[in-house]
């Protein structure tokens, strides 16, 4: 019997010749677009899950300290942080207090006028840092202060939403110092739900800063090694 015009070889051209009907192939550009879209989806899911973790890890109530430390540091920037830190100092929770990130014109006497009941305590046991302008600077100046006063345990006072980033930066600079977080929780943070637009924006902003800080801290050793290698090559 003669071969049919549509031979077996022709019929299988979908596998060996032209693509089979119903199985369109993607161009290179389409594949790149698909992978980029999938990557964005995965990153978006990761950021969303991370934000949920961040929200639920932010304390909504102030903690009760079980013991004392060698020193106390308060990072300025939020209401009632300094007042709470001075109160902890008066309770003997630390021998000295560092207020980091203070305005250049602010003096210990001016702080004492705001808290007259602690005037003598402020005069003897409170140190001011005027140079730090951000959390990284706070950590660097705290390290210098800790080294000068030989402090091995430290109560960290800052706002509750700022505490994760502050602890990360301080932990990087002070790996051998025991850090005790004391988050300051304002009345608004206690009563307003996190999905309130203003609160949600504040938490999202701080969460993104936390991610950037974590990425920077992981990349810095690589950059430092590269700079050292370049300097060795030049020398």
* 25-53 exposure pattern, b = at least 16 Cβ within 10 A, e = fewer: eeeeeeeeeeeeeeeeeeeeeeeeeebee
Give the closest residue to 97 by CA, choosing from 108, 113, 110: 108
The secondary element (H helix, E strand) that includes residue 151 is none
- Mean pLDDT is highest, among 3-12, 36-45, 135-144, for 135-144
Q: What is the pLDDT of residues 105-162, one digit of tens each?
A: 899 999 998 889 999 999 999 999 999 999 999 999 999 999 999 999 999 999 999 9
What global pTM score does this model have? Answer: 0.76
Q: Helical H runs in the chain?
A: 8-11, 13-16, 28-57, 81-90, 108-114, 119-125, 135-149, 163-173, 187-191, 197-234
Q: Would the pLDDT of 235 be above 70? A: no
Q: Give me the residue label for tokens 């390290």.
A: 143
Which residues, in sequence order, are CB contacts of 77 under 8 Å at separation 6+?
Answer: 101, 158, 159, 162
Q: Where are the domains positioned within the chain?
A: 71-187
Percent of the chain past pLDDT 70, that is, above it, reads 81
Domain over 71-187 is classified CATH 3.40.1440.10? no
Q: What is the mean pLDDT of the chain?
A: 84
């Amino acid at each position: 019997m003669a071969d049919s015009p549509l031979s077996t070889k022709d019929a299988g051209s979908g596998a060996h010749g032209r693509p089979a009907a119903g199985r369109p192939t993607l161009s290179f550009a389409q594949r790149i677009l698909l992978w980029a879209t999938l990557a964005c989806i995965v990153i978006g899911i990761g950021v969303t899950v991370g934000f949920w973790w961040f929200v639920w890890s932010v304390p909504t109530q102030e903690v009760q300290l079980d013991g004392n430390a060698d020193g106390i540091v308060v990072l300025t920037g939020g209401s009632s942080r300094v007042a709470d830190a001075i109160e902890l100092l008066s309770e003997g929770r630390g021998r000295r207090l560092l207020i980091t990130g203070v305005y250049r014109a602010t003096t210990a006497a001016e702080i004492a006028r705001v808290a007259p009941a602690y005037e003598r305590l402020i005069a003897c046991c409170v140190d001011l840092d005027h140079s730090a302008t951000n959390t990284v600077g706070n950590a660097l100046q705290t390290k210098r202060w800790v080294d000068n006063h030989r402090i091995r345990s430290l109560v960290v006072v800052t706002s509750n939403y700022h505490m994760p980033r502050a602890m990360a930066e301080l932990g990087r600079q002070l790996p051998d110092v025991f850090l005790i977080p004391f988050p300051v929780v304002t009345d608004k943070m206690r009563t307003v739900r996190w999905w309130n637009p203003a609160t949600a924006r504040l938490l999202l902003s701080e969460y993104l800063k936390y991610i950037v800080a974590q990425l920077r801290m992981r990349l810095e050793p690589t950059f430092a090694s590269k700079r050292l290698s370049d300097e060795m090559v030049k020398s």
